[in-house]
C-alpha cells in the first residue's frame, strides 16, 4: 500500500496500538503465553470481499515483532471469495496476539469500504458514469478511507477543502443566489475548478453563464436529471448526488450524467468478516 499523501503511516500504527495497549499492555497474553512461544497464523476472509489495507495490517505485526515473517498472498484491490487466505504470519505469539485486533479492525474496515464501493461500481458498469467518493469520512481516517474507496473502483473527489471549489446550498444562501456565488468564486481566482450545487433546473443556465465549470445536481429524480443533461448538452461535466443507493444508482447513471457521488461508501460501509486463525501448535523456545 502506497502511503497516502499527507498521511502519517507510522504515527497511525503507533497511536492505534497505544490505544489498545493502554498503560499495562496485553495482560492476558503476558499471563498465559510464554515469552518465547512462536506460532503461525493465517488471515482469511469469511465472505466475498474486495481487499484493502493489507500493508497496514502487516505494519501492526511488524511494529511489535520486527523479525516476524509475513507472506502476503493477496494484493489490495483484488476480489476474493470466502475462505481465501490473505496472508500467513509466523512470529512471536505474544506480539501476534497483541497486534491482532488493531490489524483486523483496520483491514476489516477498509475492505468493507472497498467491497461496498465495488457493488456500486458494478451497478453502473457500462453506463459511462464514474463513481465518486465524498468527504463523509471518519475524522482522521480520510486518507485511508478514500484509499479503500479507490481500491473498490471509485474516483477520489476533493480530499480536502483546499483542493476544489464546491459551492453548496449554504454558500448560495449567504451569497444571495447561484450566479452571485459563482461570480465571487471566479473573482477569487483560486486556480481551481469552480463547481456549484444546483437543486432545480432554473439554476442551471445562471450558473453556467456566471462561469461554473461543473455542476452538482442535488437530489434530482432521474427524469429531472435527463432534462438537466439535455439542457447542458455537454458544456460542463455533471455530477449527480443525494440519496443515491444500490437500488437507484443504475437509473441515475443511465440519465447521462458524468459522475455520481455516494457518501455512504465511506460513511456507512459495514466491516467485512476477516479472521486470524492459528494453524500450527505453538513452538516453545
Query: Across all residues in the chain, what is the average pLDDT?
Result: 94
Is residue 271 predicted with pLDDT exceeding 60?
yes
- 268-to-107, 113, 146, 250 alpha-carbon distances in Å: 16, 8, 13, 19
**pTM of the complete model:** 0.94
Q: How many CB atoms lie under 10 A from the CB of residue 140?
A: 11
Q: What is the pLDDT of residue 285?
A: 47
Q: What is the pLDDT of residue 3?
A: 57
Contact 44, 88 (CB under 8 A): no
Active site residues: 101, 136, 168, 197, 218
Residue 67: HSE in the Cβ half-sphere, 13 Å Cα cutoff: 5
Say which CATH superfamily domain 125-267 falls into.
Aldolase class I (3.20.20.70)
Cell readout for 117 is: 464501493
**Rounded to whole angstroms, how far apart are CA atoms 165 and 209?**
17
Is residue 1 predicted with pLDDT exceeding 70?
no
Angle at 142 between CA 249 and CA 240, to 5 degrees: 25
Task: Detail the DSSP E strand segments found in 130-273.
Answer: 130-132, 165-167, 194-198, 214-218, 238-241, 259-261
Is residue 90 predicted with pLDDT exceeding 90?
yes
Considering only CA atoms, which of 130, 159, 129 is closest in space to residue 145?
Answer: 159
User: What DSSP assignment string belongs to 168-183?
Assistant: -HHHHHHHSSHHHHHH
Cell readout for 152 is: 473498490
Q: What is the pLDDT of residue 9?
A: 85
Cβ-in-10-Å burial (0-12, 13-18, 19+) of 170 comes to exposed
pLDDT tens-digit map of 163-214: 999 999 999 999 999 999 999 999 999 999 999 999 999 999 999 999 999 9
**Percent over 70 (pLDDT), the chain:** 96
Sequence-distant (6+) residues with CB within 8 A of 165 are 185, 188, 190, 192, 193, 194, 195
Name the band, by pLDDT with cuts 50, 70 and 90, for residue 283.
Answer: low
* Residue showing cell 498503560: 23
pLDDT tens-digit map of 224-254: 999 999 999 999 999 999 989 999 999 999 9
- 140-to-16, 86, 135, 143 alpha-carbon distances in Å: 12, 26, 11, 8
**Rounded to whole angstroms, how far apart are CA atoms 273 and 111?**
9
Contact 39, 283 (CB under 8 A): yes
Where does CATH 3.90.1170.20 sit in the chain?
Answer: 9-121+270-278
pLDDT tens-digit map of 36-52: 999 899 999 999 999 99
* Residue showing cell 503511516: 9
Q: What is the pLDDT of residue 93?
A: 95
Sequence-distant (6+) residues with CB within 8 A of 170 are none
CATH of 9-121+270-278, one of 3.30.465.10, 2.40.160.40, 3.20.20.100, 3.90.1170.20: 3.90.1170.20
Q: What is the pLDDT of residue 281?
A: 55
Q: What is the pLDDT of residue 8?
A: 86
Q: What is the pLDDT of residue 164?
A: 92
Where does CATH 3.20.20.70 sit in the chain?
Answer: 125-267
Amino acid at each position: 500500500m502506497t502511503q497516502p499523501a499527507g498521511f502519517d503511516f507510522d504515527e497511525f500504527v503507533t497511536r492505534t496500538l497505544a490505544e489498545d495497549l493502554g498503560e499495562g499492555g496485553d495482560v492476558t497474553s503476558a499471563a498465559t503465553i510464554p515469552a518465547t512461544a512462536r506460532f503461525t497464523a493465517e488471515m482469511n476472509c469469511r465472505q466475498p470481499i474486495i481487499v484493502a489495507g493489507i500493508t497496514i495490517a502487516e505494519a501492526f505485526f511488524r511494529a511489535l515483532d520486527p523479525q516476524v515473517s509475513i507472506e502476503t498472498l493477496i494484493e489490495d484491490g483484488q476480489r476474493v471469495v470466502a475462505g481465501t487466505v490473505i496472508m500467513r504470519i509466523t512470529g512471536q505469539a505474544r506480539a501476534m496476539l497483541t497486534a491482532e485486533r488493531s490489524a483486523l479492525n483496520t483491514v476489516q474496515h477498509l475492505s468493507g469500504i472497498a467491497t461496498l464501493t465495488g457493488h456500486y461500481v458494478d451497478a453502473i458498469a457500462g453506463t459511462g458514469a464514474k463513481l465518486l467518493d465524498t468527504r463523509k469520512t471518519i475524522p482522521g481516517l480520510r486518507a485511508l478511507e478514500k484509499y479503500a474507496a479507490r481500491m473498490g473502483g471509485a474516483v477520489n473527489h476533493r480530499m480536502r477543502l483546499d483542493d476544489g471549489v464546491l459551492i453548496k446550498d449554504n454558500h448560495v444562501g449567504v451569497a444571495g443566489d447561484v450566479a452571485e456565488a459563482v461570480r465571487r468564486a471566479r473573482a477569487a481566482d483560486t486556480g481551481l475548478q469552480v463547481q456549484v450545487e444546483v437543486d432545480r433546473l432554473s439554476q442551471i443556465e445562471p450558473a453556467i453563464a456566471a462561469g461554473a465549470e461543473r455542476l452538482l445536481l442535488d437530489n434530482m429524480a432521474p427524469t429531472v436529471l435527463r432534462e438537466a443533461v439535455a439542457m447542458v448538452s455537454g458544456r460542463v461535466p455533471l455530477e449527480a448526488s443525494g440519496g443515491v443507493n444500490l437500488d437507484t444508482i443504475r437509473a441515475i447513471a443511465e440519465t447521462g450524467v458524468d459522475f455520481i457521488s455516494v457518501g455512504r461508501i465511506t460513511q456507512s460501509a459495514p466491516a467485512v468478516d476477516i479472521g486470524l486463525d492459528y494453524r500450527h501448535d505453538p513452538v516453545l523456545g
